[in-house]
Structure 1
Amino acid sequence: MNKSKSKTGILLVNLGTPDSPETGDVRKYLREFLMDGRVLDIPYLSRWMLVNFIIAPFRSPKSAKEYQKLWTERGSPLLFHTEDLRDKLVPLLDQEKYQVEIAMRYQSPSIEDGLKALNKANVQEIVVLPLFPQYASASNGSVIDKVMELAREWQIIPSIRFISNFVEHPLFLEAWAELGKKQMAEGDYDRYLFSYHGLPERQILKGAVDGYCQLNGKCCASYHKKNRYCYRAQSFHTTRLISEKLQLPKEKVLTSFQSRLGKDPWIKPYTDELIKEMAADGVKKVMVFSPAFVADCLETTVEVGEEYKELFIELGGEKWDLVPSLNSEETWVECVKDLVTSEK
């Protein structure tokens, strides 16, 4: 093959979504998601029994109702926003040098199909971008693990480059700042809440370097080589960087974690508990960011945008405004272009 015409393959990977909001499809999605040993990191047999006999059967009907609130004529927002991101990215790239595919870590379109398309195109390099800003074993790590599992079966394995996180990328921060400014133009707020998806504390401690992580504010107050892959530290760092760009008063900025599952301790502070504290302190107007998600999904639109708003209003709050995700905003598309074409 003429080397000058060899392409670089780009694989954009998001978390995943059920094929439909029907209970059967949601159950199928939950089973695949929760059977991932990086997501539910307990022994296989325990995980299999917990997922197949308890979580999937009992949680899927409730989750299906939540997905029905989210679903649109185009289907799942997480999927079509990822498709839009791809469609806006492709024209910005040299078509003779790059081929772009999208995939979901769970369900469709699969990572396997995305890699097959790139392998068929005989690309000389594959750049894998998990669309999760902050590295976590359960998200970025799982994508990397799956790609390696599939690629190792190939006779010829091209160079594969993984982008493990991008919390400090200037265009990522600028994209959030642009959305924040639009929302701030609608009025003043008493607090600016940054709510991130949670993780079990044990997963943070497993990745601790030299025992540095103490799961408290002190060890996450700065960002450096010992905690640069700590999800909690990256989250607080993201909050600081976006807040600085928006010049938000430090005393009005809060960081919290949502979506906890089970009885084991998850990283704190919990978003729902923080809402109760804000209401008790007389806070009336809150603007909320969800910077762990680059596309609107169940965790942003329904959990943060609807359920937490309802809780806040019930407790006496007056205004709860969710900043939309990056989706396929122009600056975010430019950020993705730079991430996948940079030689770093």
Structure 2
Amino acid sequence: MGKKGVLLVNLGTPDSPSTADVRTYLNEFLMDPRVIDVNPVLRTLLVRGIIVPFRAPKSAKLYREIWSETTGSPLMHYSILQHEALKQRLGDEYMVELAMRYQNPTIESALNRLKDALVDEIQVIALFPQYASASTGSVYDKVMELILQWPTKPNISFVNSFHDNELMIATFAENGRKYNPESFDHVLFSFHGLPQRQLIKADHTHKHCLKVNDCCQTLTDTNKFCYSAQSHHTAKLIAEKLNIPKEKYTICFQSRLGNDPWVQPYTSEIVAKLAGEGKKSLLVFCPAFVADCLETVYEVTTEYGDEFKALGGDRVQLVESLNDSPTWIDALEKMVRENHI
């Protein structure tokens, strides 16, 4: 029998922090119809005419702040380490490839390597703990678009989400425990934001999302595919693992784009609110990311840190992401072995 194939897919990163490479990355990312889910003509006008020309130089400057001359972007660095560690764990029975949804290494090149190796099956793990149409859904689309062109197709499986994975929760708890959460005035679980319209689209009943009070607070059969509900569930599991009482933590969402309403509460507003209440120290988890990136290393540590201090706070401490933690590699290994076809 041939090998089993595993494809790890993370979001992506520019090839370099140059404005040209950031512009290329943003164009590919934001032109994805699952990311900006509006009329194609409007999306093109917005992305290529307004967003990217203004955002690329600013984003390039931010990428330069976190870029390492030796390892590049944190997201790429830790994705490579995860890939290498998982290959070692799984051994010769498996062939493991790494790809990025946007930019390099491409999903197409990784799939072609698996195809050329004649693997018996391919298990796709989109490295986003909580399912969202704009992340995991987009990876599914791209993988199937490419495989549909193959004359012969191996068995394909997808890991839909792992928002409640015990070993993933344990890794975030391990990372947070090092900072003594009880010593901070408040704890934030800050997730990547999404437009509210995408949550509404994900409500197949058309009767639940935004129509039921606090509908995301508890994960149920009705909202089990909802990104916000899954995010709340992840945060609660980490908080329970660390014995953080409910009144001492807040679940919030960062990285808004445009003027449409996004999932709330917004992290920036919560940071300002807590500073106004006299809180001096914040511990911040970012459980939507399996590897540190611009949104964790810069947005939380620098942007929110500076905002908090300007409003009277003393410090914002980021809890590092899963990165190359051995417990997280345990989680990936178990995920692969238990979910293969």
Q: TM-score, normalised by structure 1?
A: 0.96
Question: Which AA in structure 2 matches 1:70?
Answer: I
Q: CA deviation at 1:209?
A: 3.2
1:155 aligns with 2:151: yes
Question: Which AA in structure 2 matches 1:197?
Answer: H
The 5-angstrom pairing of residues 247-258 of structure 1 reads 247-258=243-254
Which residue of the partner structure matches residue 73 of structure 2? 76
Which residue of the partner structure matches residue 309 of structure 2? 313
1:177 aligns with 2:167: no
Q: CA deviation at 1:343?
A: 3.3
SS where residue 99 of structure 1 aligns? Answer: strand
Contact 1:305 1:321 in 2 (8 A): yes
Which residue of the partner structure matches residue 197 of structure 2? 202
Q: CA deviation at 1:94?
A: 2.7
Contact 1:209 1:227 in 2 (8 A): no
Q: 1:133 to 1:261 in 2, by over 3 A?
A: same
* C-alpha distance in structure 2 between counterparts of 1:198 and 1:250, whole Å: 22
Which residue of the partner structure matches residue 214 of structure 2? 218
SS where residue 91 of structure 2 aligns? Answer: coil
| 2, 5, 11: which one aligns with 1:9 | 5
Q: CA deviation at 1:340?
A: 1.4
* C-alpha distance in structure 2 between counterparts of 1:282 and 1:216, whole Å: 33
Q: 1:158 to 1:198 in 2, by over 3 A?
A: same
The 5-angstrom pairing of residues 282-301 of structure 1 reads 282-301=278-297
SS where residue 339 of structure 2 aligns? Answer: coil
* C-alpha distance in structure 1 between counterparts of 2:251 and 2:165, whole Å: 20
SS where residue 183 of structure 1 aligns? Answer: coil
The 5-angstrom pairing of residues 318-329 of structure 1 reads 318-329=314-325
Which residue of the partner structure matches residue 57 of structure 1? 53
* C-alpha distance in structure 2 between counterparts of 1:70 and 1:205, whole Å: 35
* C-alpha distance in structure 1 between counterparts of 2:52 and 2:175, whole Å: 36
* C-alpha distance in structure 2 between counterparts of 1:72 and 1:225, whole Å: 44
Question: Which AA in structure 2 matches 1:110?
Answer: T
Provide, for residues 249-296 of structure 1, a one-character-per-residue CA deviation record: whole Å limited to 9, x for no partner: 111010000000101000100000011110111111110000001101
| Percent identity between the two aligned chains | 50
Q: CA deviation at 1:215?
A: 7.0
Which residue of the partner structure matches residue 184 of structure 2? 189
CA RMSD of aligned residues (A): 1.2
* C-alpha distance in structure 1 between counterparts of 2:36 and 2:86, whole Å: 33
Which residue of the partner structure matches residue 82 of structure 2? 85
The 5-angstrom pairing of residues 103-114 of structure 1 reads 103-114=99-110
Question: Which AA in structure 2 matches 1:40?
Answer: I
| 270, 275, 284: which one aligns with 1:274 | 270
Gaps of 5+ in 1: none
- Spell out structure 1 runs of 4+ moving beyond 2 A: none
Q: TM-score, normalised by structure 2?
A: 0.97
Question: Which AA in structure 2 matches 1:81?
Answer: Y
Q: 1:297 to 1:7 in 2, by over 3 A?
A: same
SS where residue 34 of structure 2 aligns? Answer: coil
1:146 aligns with 2:147: no
Which residue of the partner structure matches residue 232 of structure 2? 236
Gaps of 5+ in 2: none
Paired residues in the alignment total: 338
Q: 1:216 to 1:283 in 2, by over 3 A?
A: farther
Question: Which AA in structure 2 matches 1:43?
Answer: N
Q: CA deviation at 1:242?
A: 0.4
